[in-house]
Structure 1
Amino acid sequence: MKEGYKKTELGVIPDEWEIKTAGDIFEFTGGLSISREKLGEEGVNYLHYGDIHKRNENFIDLDIDEQWLPKFNKEYENIKEGAKLETGDVVFADASEDYEGIGKSVAILNYDNKPFVAGLHTIVGKEKCNLLDEHYKRFCFSTTNIRKQFRSLATGSSVYGIKMSSLKRIKILTPPLKEQQKIAQILSTVDSQIDDTDKLIEKTKELKKGLMQRLLTKGIGHKEFKKTEVGEIPVEWEVIRLGEIVNIKSGNSPSKFNFYDDGKYPFFKVDDMNYSTKYLSIGKLYYNESNFDLMNRGMIIFPKRGASIFTNKILILDSDGFFDTNLMGLICNEKVNNEFLYYFLSYYELSKIADTSSIPQINNKHIEPLIISLPEMKEQKQIANILSSVDSQIEEYQNKKTKLEELKKGLMQQLLTGKVRVV
């Protein structure tokens, strides 16, 4: 064993570190059971367990978050003390629809002592011995070891729960206070970088939204416009039915293919559409030969059936292959650039033309008569290039965020277990 370390039930840890149960450190109490229907925009700040699950951050800072937190009208003095939230408290969600969310927690920062209470399906931990730094609490419940403990103590089958008595048994590693502060400082710095990158992503998406609205209706540098059935457009632009510039293709049933782990061509399903880029090239199924016509790279594909229509997920096929019957493909002719049409359809939102009488669906009868405004090919390519450059910037930021998240995950595993020490 490495010098300065000791073997414990939670593995090898530094000699100065201790193992405490959550019950040793915290007094626990339940939140107030007030449903969403009774919440409003005025009154006492209220933390619902659903807001803990939706939140990416591992803390609630009332100076920042008060603007979006729901409120309810009740005299603060009449609320039980254990549900009132102060700086240093930790609030756990005691119910979750999946394993990953069991016991998810946020640390509370409420430096001005504003009225703030924990709500439905929450457990409040109030420290009783000053063993944990207020910022260290943001991270210490997210280690692999503690997440395993939460999962092993969970109850239920479809909705998982964690009881207060079980929560008290969770074992926590407690470094010396100064080391906790340094660990929290390092991890908080990475969190800030992730948050900054998130803001850049959102700002660039807003820029793209504005550019699409301008470029796909007014074009580049036009001075004269005409009124048409699709609105005011440049006089040089053409109004045309989509059926005149695309060839529509439907998918095939997976049962008609012979699939292989090392097959030559991918077979795409709706689930494969969940990518952040505009190109689709990787599927979960592969095949070698087929009696069906190969769908070629460059085709625009999108869901044509079910709730996925409303996600407006449109992609460009970046690999020869096939797709199933829940997807539809458009092959562009010589009058339209495929990337321009991709952006136009993304801006238009195909859900507007879907048949929603029973199961939402889009068929040829919806696509063919759709009227679009079409510039000359040169301008189509210019517009597509501008929007592609913004997409590239968004992708660059998203890749940066992914790397920062991987860095944080690695740092947490090293720092919160004592494998790497900070001084």
Structure 2
Amino acid sequence: MVKAGYKQTEVGVIPEDWDDKKLSQLCIMKSGESITSKSISETAPYPCYGGNGLRGFTKTFTHDGDYALVGRQGALCGNVEFATGQFFASEHAVVATPMDGTNIKWLSYVLTDMNLNQYSESSAQPGLTVSKILPLKTAAPNDNREQKAIAEALSDVDGLIASLEALIEKKRQIKTGTMQQLLTGKTRLPGFGEGKGFKQTELGEIPEDWDVALIGDYIEFKNGLNKAKKYFGYGTPIINYMDVFGQEGIRKEHVVGCVDVSREEIKNYSAKKGDVFFTRTSETVEEIGLSSVLLDDISSAVFSGFILRGRDKSDSSKIHLNFKKYCFGSEVVRAQIKSSSSYTTRALTNGTLLAKVLFPLPSLENEQIAIASVLTTMEGEIHSLENRLAKTKALKQGMMQELLTGRTRLI
């Protein structure tokens, strides 16, 4: 039963003073103009939008004002951008020009919520046609003031999201800079290095009480497990490529993949606390040799063939568990890993190559612990901000569902 003040329509239950309207009643849609890649740069004054969003910048513009842009072709077709000012819209973008009575910012949120990608035509190059988009219906307030109020409320949340993203990026840059200083000894923490100088090494200047260590002297490498697709989805936990990529430490709760393996395979491809895993192959050299250390014991866990396991050669490792999270990620280490990699159709590295990589190693375990503690604290701050960002994005999604359907009214 429809509650008082609302009515049933083709797009669902909406307020009585709203209508379900075709997009053709709200805007005019037209593809942009052709442009060659030679005309796009990073230094020209006007942003250029294509099928997947911002392509770069160009010296001319096609539009001046406020518009909603819909990606027409490409993997991300259906994505929506709100463009303002002077910009160039390429032939792979559809420009939505508002009709009288339509708030274009509100319409950009409506188009985003409609998930237009679902209407793309299947082909080698996914695409949308204006003729398919314009007949689609949406719930629309007839009062432009209400459209504006909805847009402003959602824009406020977008502003908070943007500020959080900028703060996270700033924190990441600060952490990266701090890592390079601490992991090379250029900056020493209080209580370490008093009265000590530096020495020249293959890695450049490092503290005279540090060592130049060879990865292969401390850990030995093993390739991971390869199984047919039918064995995955059940069984014992398996550490995969994405468990390593993008995080310096792996916790038990991070490992969600499973694989059906034998006892012999568990023995041969075991993963235990303190093991360091390296990405073995990727599309770019920037993504190979990235490392992450297993911080928890996971019963019967194994690791996949897309990563390499580095395990301590002795039980009394000279590299502290928490220091392992960071010591293979410094610029001097990453440069060696990338330069020694091979590339055919994909970038590759292997245990033999990684074993030859040098890294700076504080001789005192307490200094290793202190360095790791500083970086872990910074990492924790970033994770807290990332959690806040995720909650804010979820809040925005909930607001869109309420405001764009009229379930919650602002005026």
Q: Confirm or deny that 1:104 pairs with 2:87.
A: no
Q: Are 1:136 and 1:181, in contact at CA under 8 Å, matched by a contact in 2? A: yes
- Higher mean Cα deviation, 294-303 or 41-50? 41-50
Q: Are 1:269 and 1:283, in contact at CA under 8 Å, matched by a contact in 2? A: no
Residue 270 to residue 407, structure 1, CA distance change in 2 (3 Å): same
CA-CA distance at 1:182 after TM superposition: 2.1
1:140 to 110, 115, 126: 110
- Higher mean Cα deviation, 12-21 or 246-255? 246-255
1:295 counterpart residue number? 271
CA-CA distance at 1:49 after TM superposition: 1.0
1:232 counterpart residue number? 205
Q: Confirm or deny that 1:168 pairs with 2:134.
A: yes
CA-CA distance at 1:125 after TM superposition: 2.1
2:94 counterpart residue number? 123
Residue 109 to residue 357, structure 1, CA distance change in 2 (3 Å): closer
CA-CA distance at 1:252 after TM superposition: 2.2
Question: Which amino acid is 2:103 matched to?
Answer: D
Q: TM-score of the superposition, structure 2-length normalised? A: 0.85
Describe how 1:357-368 pairs up with structure 2 within 5 A.
Answer: 359-368=346-355
Residue-pair matches, total: 386
CA-CA distance at 1:235 after TM superposition: 0.9
1:341 counterpart residue number? 324
Question: Which amino acid is 1:241 matched to?
Answer: L
Once residues 126 and 7 of structure 1 are traced to their aligned partners in structure 2, the CA distance between those partners, rounded to angstroms, is 29
What does the per-residue CA deviation read over 1:155-213, in whole Å, with 9 as the maximum and x for residues that have no partner? 23232222222222122321122222222222112111111111111111111111111
2:356 counterpart residue number? 369
Describe how 1:276-291 pairs up with structure 2 within 5 A.
Answer: 276=247, 278-279=249-250, 281=252, 282-287=255-260, 290-291=263-264
What does the per-residue CA deviation read over 1:315-357, in whole Å, with 9 as the maximum and x for residues that have no partner? 2224431112221111234211133233121222232332336
Once residues 162 and 256 of structure 1 are traced to their aligned partners in structure 2, the CA distance between those partners, rounded to angstroms, is 33
Once residues 77 and 349 of structure 2 are traced to their aligned partners in structure 1, the CA distance between those partners, rounded to angstroms, is 39
Describe how 1:325-340 pairs up with structure 2 within 5 A.
Answer: 325-332=305-312, 333=314, 334-340=317-323
CA-CA distance at 1:277 after TM superposition: 6.0
Give secondary structure in 1 for the equivalent of 2:342. coil
Q: Are 1:301 and 1:315, in contact at CA under 8 Å, matched by a contact in 2? A: yes
CA-CA distance at 1:368 after TM superposition: 2.2
1:86 counterpart residue number? 65
Describe how 1:5-20 pairs up with structure 2 within 5 A.
Answer: 5-20=6-21
Q: Are 1:91 and 1:123, in contact at CA under 8 Å, matched by a contact in 2? A: yes
1:79 counterpart residue number? none
Q: Confirm or deny that 1:314 pairs with 2:291.
A: yes
Percent of residue pairs bearing the same amino acid type = 25
Once residues 242 and 43 of structure 1 are traced to their aligned partners in structure 2, the CA distance between those partners, rounded to angstroms, is 45
Q: Are 1:107 and 1:137, in contact at CA under 8 Å, matched by a contact in 2? A: no
- Higher mean Cα deviation, 167-176 or 10-19? 167-176
Give secondary structure in 2 for the equivalent of 1:335. coil
Question: Which amino acid is 2:385 matched to?
Answer: Y
Once residues 40 and 361 of structure 1 are traced to their aligned partners in structure 2, the CA distance between those partners, rounded to angstroms, is 31
Residue 409 to residue 53, structure 1, CA distance change in 2 (3 Å): farther
1:4 counterpart residue number? 5
Q: Are 2:279 and 2:308, in contact at CA under 8 Å, matched by a contact in 1? A: yes
Once residues 40 and 232 of structure 2 are traced to their aligned partners in structure 1, the CA distance between those partners, rounded to angstroms, is 52
1:183 counterpart residue number? 150
Residue 416 to residue 276, structure 1, CA distance change in 2 (3 Å): farther
What does the per-residue CA deviation read over 1:295-323, in whole Å, with 9 as the maximum and x for residues that have no partner? 20221101223436532432222443111
Once residues 122 and 357 of structure 1 are traced to their aligned partners in structure 2, the CA distance between those partners, rounded to angstroms, is 34
Residue 44 to residue 343, structure 1, CA distance change in 2 (3 Å): closer
Q: Where do 5+ consecutive residues of structure 1 fail to align?
A: 55-68, 77-82
Of Structure 1 and Structure 2, which has the larger fraction of its residues in strand? Answer: 2
RMSD over aligned CA atoms reads: 2.6
Question: Which amino acid is 1:371 matched to?
Answer: L
Once residues 249 and 41 of structure 1 are traced to their aligned partners in structure 2, the CA distance between those partners, rounded to angstroms, is 43
1:159 counterpart residue number? 125
Q: Confirm or deny that 1:418 pairs with 2:406.
A: yes
Once residues 391 and 42 of structure 1 are traced to their aligned partners in structure 2, the CA distance between those partners, rounded to angstroms, is 33
1:72 to 49, 55, 59: 59
Give secondary structure in 2 for the equivalent of 1:109. strand
Once residues 346 and 125 of structure 2 are traced to their aligned partners in structure 1, the CA distance between those partners, rounded to angstroms, is 28
Q: Confirm or deny that 1:253 pairs with 2:231.
A: no
Q: Are 2:248 and 2:293, in contact at CA under 8 Å, matched by a contact in 1? A: no
Q: TM-score of the superposition, structure 1-length normalised? A: 0.83
Once residues 259 and 138 of structure 2 are traced to their aligned partners in structure 1, the CA distance between those partners, rounded to angstroms, is 46
Q: Are 1:21 and 1:168, in contact at CA under 8 Å, matched by a contact in 2? A: yes
